[in-house]
Structure 1
Amino acid sequence: MLYPNPQNQMPQISENAWVSETAIIVGNVTIGDNVFVAHNAIVRADEPGSSVIIGDNCNIQDNVIIHSLSNSDVVVNSNTSLAHGCIVHGPCVIGEGCFVGFGSVVFDCIVGDDTLVLHNATVRKVRIPPGKVVPDGMSITSQDAVECLEDVSSELVKFKDSVVKANVNLVNGYKNLATEA
């Protein structure tokens, strides 16, 4: 469901995206091509001066929450996966080709391209360079902790790419169902 925010801004969603009828999208939100927004996802840019931008080929899976504070932005760059139940809170920039795992929290940070934040991790008030992996359950809340992160393995690169591909296929599948109905 699409709603205006108190500033009367409406979401702008590509005709080539697919958004579940149980998802809630509010306010100054832009969603690109081939984006999959699953059931019960919530994307809100309702505070004054806030915005959310979702790039092409992203997926926002079931129960994901994205919200931006007043005078801040959330930017999720292209080919990024936000897995089931994660929270992305602005101010925040997530680079291209990233993965944020189940139940993770990402807030007030910059996550470099091709980075994986694995399941139940927390990333807050840091800048993560490209190509790193935050292990399951790890809390990264100081720049010193970032220095210890390992590079993404080829297996994890294949995994994150397969998630993007699977969800772009879902966009096409659901859109085809809608045209057949």
Structure 2
Amino acid sequence: MHFPNPHKQHPKVSKKAWISETAVIIGNVTIADNVFVGPNAVLRADEPGSSITVHSGSNVQDNVVVHALSHSDVIIGKNTSLAHGCIVHGPCRIGEGCFIGFGAVVFDCDIGKDTLVLHRAIVRGVNISSGMMVPDGTVVTSQDCADRLEEITKDLTDFKRSVVLANIDLVEGYIKLGEES
């Protein structure tokens, strides 16, 4: 379901993206090619001056909430996964090739490319360098803590890439299924 916001801004969704019928997209939201938006996901840019951009190859899985505060942006880089039930709240920039885990919360932060934020982690008010890993359940709310994170491991890099590829396959499969109906 796509709705304008009170400022009469309408979502811009690529015809090469797949959006679940139960997803809700409101306002100044741009969704690029090969993006998967799962059931019950909510992407809401309805406050004044807010925007959300989801770049190509990314996926917004079931029950994810993405919202931007007034005069803020949420930018999701290419080939990034927002896993089931996470919350991404603007202002927030998530780099290319990232993974935000189940139930994680990210707010008012800048996450560098190829970074993994694992399940139930909280990241707020910090900048995380590229190629880092936030372990399960970790709370990162000081720059000192963000600067001490460890680099992502090869197995987790492979994992996050596999999630992106699986979701691009889903986009292609669902679009083809729709064309056949």
Q: What is the TM-score when the length of structure 2 is the normalising length?
A: 1.00
By how many angstroms is 1:161 displaced? Answer: 0.2
Local SS of the residue matching 1:57: coil
2:61 aligns with 61
How far apart, CA to CA, are the structure 2 residues paired with 1:152 and 1:135? 10
Question: In 1, distance between residues paired with 2:78 and 2:148?
Answer: 26
The answer to whether structure 1 residue 35 and structure 2 residue 68 are counterparts is: no
- Equivalent position SS for 1:177: helix
Name the SS of the counterpart of 2:47 in structure 1. Answer: coil
> What is residue 120 of structure 1 aligned with on the other side?
120
Q: Which secondary structure state, in structure 1, belongs to the residue aligned with residue 21 of structure 2? A: coil
Query: Deviation string for 1:116-155 (max 9, x for gaps)?
Result: 0000000000000000000000000000101221001000
TM-score after normalising by structure 1: 1.00
Corresponding residue of 1:99: 99
Q: Which amino acid aligns with 1:89?
A: H
The two structures, once aligned, show a CA RMSD in angstroms of 0.4
Moved over 6 A (4+): none
Q: Which residue of 1 aligns with 2:171?
A: 171
How far apart, in 1, do the equivalents of 2:177 and 2:53 lie? 27
C-alpha separation between the residues in 1 aligned to 2:27 and 2:149? 36
Distance 1:144 1:154 in 2: 25
Distance in 2 (alpha carbons) for counterparts of 1:28 and 1:45: 5
Counterpart of 2:87 in structure 1 is 87
The one-letter amino acid of 2:105's match is V
Q: Could you tell me how far apart the structure 2 residues matched to 1:114 and 1:33 are?
A: 20
Aligned to 2:155: 155
Q: CA deviation at 1:71?
A: 0.3
Match of residue 26 from structure 1:
26
Question: Which residue does the alignment assign to 1:109?
Answer: 109
Task: Structure 1: state its 5+ residue gaps.
Answer: none
Secondary structure of 1:34's aligned partner: coil
Aligned to 1:49, the other structure's residue is in SS state coil
Amino acid at match of 1:32: A
Following the alignment from structure 2 to structure 1, what is the Cα–Cα distance between the partners of residues 147 and 141? 12
Letter in 2 for 1:24: V
1:77 aligns with 2:77: yes
- In structure 2, stretches of 5+ residues that fail to align are none
Amino-acid identity (%): 61
